[in-house]
Amino acid sequence: MFLLQVFIVLLLVVAAVVALLVESRSDRYAAARDRSLAAAEAFAHGPGLVATMQGPDPSAVLQPLTEAARTGAKVDFIVVADRNGIRYTHPEPAQIGKKFVGTIEPSLHGLVTVERVHGPLGLEYQVVVPVEDTHGGVVGVVAAGMKVANVSSAINRQLPVVLGAGTVALALATAGTGLVGRRLLRQTHGLGPEEMTRMYEHHDAVLHAVREGVAIVGGDGRVLLANDEARRLLDLPPDAEGRAVTDLGLDPRTSELLLSDSTVTDQVLPVGDRLLAVNNRPTDSRGGPPGSVTTLRDSTELRALAGKAEVARGRLRLLYDASMTIGTTLDVRRTVKELADIASRDFCDYATVDLAEEVLRGEEPHPLAVGAGVELRRVALTGIRDDSPLYREGRLVRWAGTTPQAAGFASGRSALVAELATDVGWRMQELERTQAVLEFGLASLITVPLTARGVLMGVACFWRGRDRGPFEDEDLSVAEELAARAAVSVDNARRFTREHTMAVTLQHSLLPRALPEQSAIEVAYRYLPAQAGVGGDWFDVIPLPGARVALVVGDVVGHGMHAAATMGRLRTAVQNFSTLDLPPDELLGHLDELVAHIDQEAAAAGGELTITGATCLYAIYDPTTAVCALARAGHPPPALVHPDGTVELLGLPAGPPLGLGGMPFEATQVRLSPGSSLILYTDGLVEDRTRDIGVGLDTLTAVLGRPDRSPQEVCEAVLDVLLPDRQNDDIALLVARTRVLEPDRIAEWEVASTPEAVAQARAEATRQLAEWGLDEAAFVTELVLSELVTNAIRYGTGPIGVRLLYERTLICEVSDTSSTAPHLRYAVAEDEGGRGLFLVARLTERWGVRYTPEGKIIWAEQYL
């Protein structure tokens, strides 16, 4: 506003100045013309001018006269010239005698000429008047003129007045605007015009948009303002504003509240069929104008909205609880049980889940045609009571093709049955059972297929009784959301079940399926795969020549298929190396080289997992000497339980894990008393996330302190105490109780290195077999001993020893100090020898050679 006023004042001042300038210019031009015309006329009609101009020296006479006349007339010049325009006079004498500048032709004909010219004195306004003689003839001209700039104007006197008046007006406008602005700022609390406009627009928009009635009543009892919601709630007429409250036709109690100047908070007021919550505040409590402000809320709608909000909040809480509860494990049955539990608690009265048989095995169900019957296993059933007529858990249910369950499983679409009694398709399942369900009180059903990643796995059913009311469309969305969350967890559990089953199957196929027959030890074992995935733990019992037996326990780092496959490779390698009858330290050395070679191949292939870090414990027990040779590669030490119950952890040299290389392994020999127990295990038994391995070993030794238990009982006792609540690693446990071969079952003697000794060896063997009651085996034994002793005499070095072992089989052993081993070959017809070992191989079950620190032993084994 201030700028507008300044602009208007300046505009008026400029207009006045422009008008003065225009008027002043016109006045100056008129004054210059009139003054010049008067001077020229007066001089041209002066007496004696014609005679002087016709005299001998006009300039000398006229020059002083014209200058005197010019000064008296206050013009810039008076010039007298002849008919040719030659000047007789001029204010500047140098211009006398020169041509007159201007137009004289009209004056030569008796006319007066008025014009503006650029003469010697500058821009001039001049008048040319003819000089006539007594006969009317023109003898010359008189020109008078002056510069317009030399004419004084009224603007020089009026302009200061105009500018002064404009300045005063501007000052008054500024002062007035400042006073008005200060008062407006006080009244608007510092808000400017734009802010006031925006605030008013927002105030008006909010006032009429809120779902709360607002009515302002002045001190005189008239309605000053009523928004749209107040008009609707109180049923006010369109022209209510400005009218007295008592004239609006309201009931007395409502009028009294609107006119009241007291404070009212949430007072319930019935108005028609509505129930309003009314608040009233006086407007003069802080120095404002008298009156009151009343707000009104429709509590009827608020109650309905609050009910809907509570229902929505309950559904959100249900979905949140479901996300936190469903899928806590990778177990299919546990997952669907969690779904049924959470649904029956807050969403329905009963919840059931049926799954395809393939899902329980970790497989994908086969797709079915719409309308076909479906066989599903009832996996979960929960509800408010236990005596419902619904199918029990564990039952295989064949759903008819018309039922919502079968249709949902085949098509993958959910179904809402608001009234079971009128649903023909559902009642076609089993008439007696469906009637029992209706009589039990169940009246409404929602079926949702469990679908994840395009796989249909089963159907979840939610049941409600008549007391709770039927399901609605919003309930179908909640049920689908519940089923969708559960379906992902079920599919994850199904996939885990499939992979876990495959890995466990592979692992069990690679582990010993049955213990081999042997008499050296009494063996019991346990193998428990990890709950979260199989690992690479393994064990083995390998019969060796000479009634001996090898015990092996190993552990491959990692879990899953790779660990299980690697375990199988190592177990096969140990079995192959054991056929060479190597000592434990040499066998572990060969196994270490194999692991290093496998890792090199994996590194060359790029990105494959390595097995460096696998551990192994290998032991060979000889029942003829009761000596056990052991060596370990990074594996936990074995425990030895003596016959008297004393338990010790054998202090074997640890050795590096397999695959590291560079360090030799060291074997230890321990003599075991008959009835001792050797316990081999993997680290999963004594170590987990909550228990240190030292604590686990102490617990193990404490459990093994009872020698009167069988190996089977020892396995059970150890697992009862040491098995963790959640098994994160495989556990392999091998318990071997030692036996010794009785001295009367062993016969050994030395044989001289002469051909005659062969007959003596046969005779001694026949005698010993007769004592053992094995006369039927004498013939084959004589042939075997003859060949083996003959080879030792011919190709070996003494001393030569013979040993017969009577166990489950009859074992013949011939030893010498040579390291040269015989080889089986086929002899042709003309060969004189080479058929001895061929006969030994054909007459016995097995034969072989094993090396000892003193030489070698050639052995042959016969089944009895």
| Cβ 289 vs Cβ 218: under 8 Å | yes
pLDDT tens profile 361-382:
888 888 778 778 889 999 999 9
pLDDT band per the 50, 70, 90 thresholds, residue 460: very high
CA 67 – CA 390 distance, rounded (Å): 143
State percent of the chain over pLDDT 90. 25
* Direct distance between the N- and C-terminal alpha carbons of the chain, in angstroms, rounded to an integer: 129
pLDDT tens per residue, range 495-517: 887 877 777 777 666 677 777 88
Partnered with residue 417 across adjacent β-strands are 445
**Per-residue pLDDT, 154:** 46
Contacts of residue 458, Cβ cutoff 8 Å, sequence gap at least 6: 336, 353, 354, 355, 356, 359, 376, 379, 409, 449, 450, 490
pLDDT at 227 over 90: no
pLDDT score of 355 more than 90? yes
58-62, 206-210, 602-606, 608-612 — which is least confidently predicted?
A: 608-612
What are the tokens at 164? 């002064």
Q: Which of 253, 256, 254, 252 is nearest to 233 (CA)?
A: 254
Upstream peptide bond of 799 is cis (omega within 30 degrees of 0): yes
Nearest-angstrom CA–CA distance, 813 and 402: 79
* Alpha-carbon span 388 to 289, nearest angstrom: 72
The distance from CA 44 to its chain's CA centroid, rounded to whole angstroms, is 114
Q: What is the pLDDT of residue 391?
A: 93
Kindly write down the DSSP assignment for every residue of 392-444, as one continuous string.
PTT-EEEE-TTSHHHHHHHH---EEES-GGG-HHHHTS-HHHHHHHHHHTEEE
189 — pLDDT class (breaks 50, 70, 90): low
Tokens found for residue 463 = 């049941």
- pTM over 0.75? The answer is no
User: Please, are residues 633 and 665 in contact by the beta-carbon 8 Å criterion?
Assistant: yes
pLDDT at 826: 59
pLDDT-derived band at 217, boundaries 50, 70, 90: confident
Share the mean pLDDT of the chain.
83
Residue pair 246/257 in contact (Cβ under 8 Å)? The answer is no
Task: Give the Cα separation of 542 and 419 in Å (integer).
Answer: 69
Measured CA to CA, the distance from residue 433 to residue 427 in angstroms comes to 9
CA-to-CA distance for 480 and 415, rounded, in angstroms? 10
Which of 340, 318, 336 shows the shortest CA–CA distance to 328?
336
Both structure tokens of 369: 């045609």
Q: Where are the beta strands (DSSP E) in 721-827?
A: 731-738, 746-751, 800-806, 809-816
What is residue 151's predicted lDDT score, i.e. its pLDDT?
64
Q: What is the DSSP letter of 210?
A: S
Average pLDDT over residues 590-601: 86
pLDDT (tens digit per residue) in 27-63: 667 777 778 888 888 888 888 888 888 888 888 888 8
229 or 549: which carries more pLDDT confidence? 549
pLDDT of residue 831: 45
If one counts every other C-beta atom within 10 angstroms of the C-beta of residue 424, the result is 7
Residue with tokens 């085996």: 777
The two tokens of residue 720 are 């009862």
Segment 285-314 shows an average pLDDT of 71
CA 183 to chain centroid, in Å, comes to 59
73-111 pLDDT, tens per residue?
888 888 888 888 888 898 888 888 888 888 888 888 888
How far is 199 from 533, CA to CA, in rounded Å?
68
Confidence check: pLDDT of 688 > 90:
no
Q: Which H or E run includes 193?
A: helix 193-209
- Mapping DSSP to helix (H, G, I), strand (E, B) and coil, where does residue 847 land? strand
Sign of CA dihedral 765, 767, 771, 776: positive
CA 391, CA 463: separation in Å to the nearest integer?
13
Is residue 778 over pLDDT 70?
Answer: yes
> What's the DSSP call for residue 76?
S
Provide the residue type at 406 as one letter: A
Give percent above pLDDT 70 in the chain.
86
Q: What is the pLDDT of residues 800-843, one digit of tens each?
A: 999 999 988 899 999 988 877 776 665 544 544 556 777 788 88
Q: What is the pLDDT of residues 426-447, one digit of tens each?
A: 988 888 899 999 999 999 999 9
Can you tell me the distance from the alpha carbon of 583 to that of 379, in angstroms, rounded to the nearest whole number? Answer: 55
**Tally of CB atoms within 10 A around 355:** 24
Residue 343 buriedness (CB in 10 A; 0-12 / 13-18 / 19+): buried
